[in-house]
């Protein structure tokens, strides 16, 4: 299952081969049909496994946060989603791979896993707006905005690392990313009262400013 997840998330269904999966798993190619009759059956089992692990993770988080006030509960749940995605980017890599074309696998994924998540995020968004701490807008747009902002650095982790020279799963970066996304979509009480409390930070710009000559030095 682990090997299938790695190969399908990296190559997509069409690009993946059962030979590559068998080699990754260290098993004989001939043994796969005993467990999965077709490549699609294997793909569905892999998708079920990662999405069920995600559902269990979030169910435990919701149970743990049952008595927390709505704003902090919503923020904490989005934090849990982001931490899971940071450690398991294959969750969305598989969905993104299939989402670029219309096929039976996309329809299956939507009905079995993506639609329930979509409906849950919609309900959290409506709750946030009703209680005055969420962003208003079309729910379908907010859903994809939240998913993209929360998960894209991990989904395209290799690109992120090449572009920024930083590892996307660095714990400090993950926590900073979480805070930025939370304050964007579900501002804390402090942030809502004082928007200037959170400012965008660009380490390279800060370094450039520190290295630039002072006004007095430039005048001399």
Where is average pLDDT lowest: 49-53, 79-83, 95-99, 156-160?
95-99
d(CA 18, CA 23) in angstroms, rounded, equals 9
Can you give 108-162 as a three-state secondary structure string?
A: HHHHHHHHHHHHHHHHHHHHHHHCCCCCCCCHHHHHHHHHHHHHHHHHCHHHHHH
Q: Which pLDDT score, from 0 to 100, does residue 32 have?
A: 73
71, 75, 4: which is closest to 40 by C-alpha? Answer: 4
Q: Which pLDDT score, from 0 to 100, does residue 19 have?
A: 85
Which domains can be identified in the chain, with CATH numbers?
46-194 (1.10.357.10)
pLDDT of 9 above 90: yes
- More confident of the two residues 29 and 133: 133
Q: 76 near 68, Cβ under 8 Å? A: yes
Q: Quickly state the pLDDT bin for 175 (edges 50, 70, 90).
A: very high
In this prediction the pTM is: 0.82
Q: Which pLDDT score, from 0 to 100, does residue 198 have?
A: 43
pLDDT of 213 above 60: no
84, 92, 76: which is closest to 179 by C-alpha? Answer: 76
Q: 140 near 131, Cβ under 8 Å? A: no
Average pLDDT value for residue range 172-199:
79
Q: Which pLDDT score, from 0 to 100, does residue 34 have?
A: 61
Q: What angle do CA 74, 79, 85 make, to 5 degrees?
A: 130
């Amino acid at each position: 299952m682990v090997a299938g997840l790695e190969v399908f998330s990296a190559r997509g269904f069409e690009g993946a081969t059962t030979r590559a999966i068998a080699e990754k798993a260290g098993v004989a190619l001939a043994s796969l049909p005993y467990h999965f009759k077709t490549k699609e059956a294997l793909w569905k089992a892999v998708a079920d496994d990662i999405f069920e692990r995600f559902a269990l993770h979030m169910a435990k988080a919701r149970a743990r946060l049952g008595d927390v006030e709505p704003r902090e509960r919503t923020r904490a749940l989005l934090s849990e989603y982001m931490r899971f995605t940071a450690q398991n980017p294959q969750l969305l890599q598989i969905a993104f791979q299939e989402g670029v074309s219309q096929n039976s696998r996309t329809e299956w994924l939507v009905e079995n896993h993506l639609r329930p998540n979509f409906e849950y995020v919609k309900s959290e968004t409506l709750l946030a707006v009703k209680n005055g701490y969420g962003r208003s807008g079309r729910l379908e747009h907010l859903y994809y905005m939240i998913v993209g902002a929360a998960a894209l650095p991990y989904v395209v982790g290799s690109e992120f690392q090449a572009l920024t020279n930083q590892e996307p799963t660095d714990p400090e970066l993950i926590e900073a990313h979480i805070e930025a996304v939370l304050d964007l979509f579900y501002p804390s009480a402090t942030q809502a009262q004082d928007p200037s409390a959170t400012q965008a930070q660009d380490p390279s710009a800060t370094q450039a400013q520190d290295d630039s000559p002072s006004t007095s030095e430039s005048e001399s």
